[in-house]
Amino acid sequence: MTSLRTTDAVAARYSPVVTRDVAQALHLVRALRDQLHQMTRELVRLERQDVTGTNGRASATRCEAAALRRDINEAQILIDRLQRRYLNDDGQAQPGRPARVRRR
């Protein structure tokens, strides 16, 4: 986890906008990781159930597990993007400017 000192060090060298973006990215990555862990635990619980049948309950469980897999994948993609754009791969604040936003 990144300490507040890392964010403070970035604040001393870079503009308030960059610092704010990095701080927001840190908080969002933490929240996404927490959610990712919760969804993974729920998926493990669902996969332990015997859903080999063709009844409605088995079908609903399989659908719920499939939705969780999609959500887990999407959360991981978002975490990866935030880390590439605002943070180093180790979760530390990345010095420099964030990528420019394309205007249409």
Amino acid 57: pLDDT: 85
102 pLDDT above the threshold of 50: no
pLDDT tens digits, residue range 28-80?
999 999 999 999 999 999 988 877 777 888 889 999 999 999 999 999 999 99
Amino acid 99: pLDDT: 47
Amino acid 13: pLDDT: 56
7 pLDDT above the threshold of 80: no
Share of the chain above pLDDT 90, in %: 44
Q: Which among 8, 19, 5, 9 has a CA at the least distance from the CA of 86?
A: 19
Cα Rg, the chain, nearest whole Å: 19
Amino acid 21: pLDDT: 87
CB-based contact 15:76 (threshold 8 Å): no
Amino acid 32: pLDDT: 97
Domain boundaries of the chain, sorted by first residue: 4-86
- How many residues does the structure list for the chain? 104
CB-based contact 28:81 (threshold 8 Å): no
Check residue 12 and report its DSSP letter.
H
93 pLDDT above the threshold of 90: no
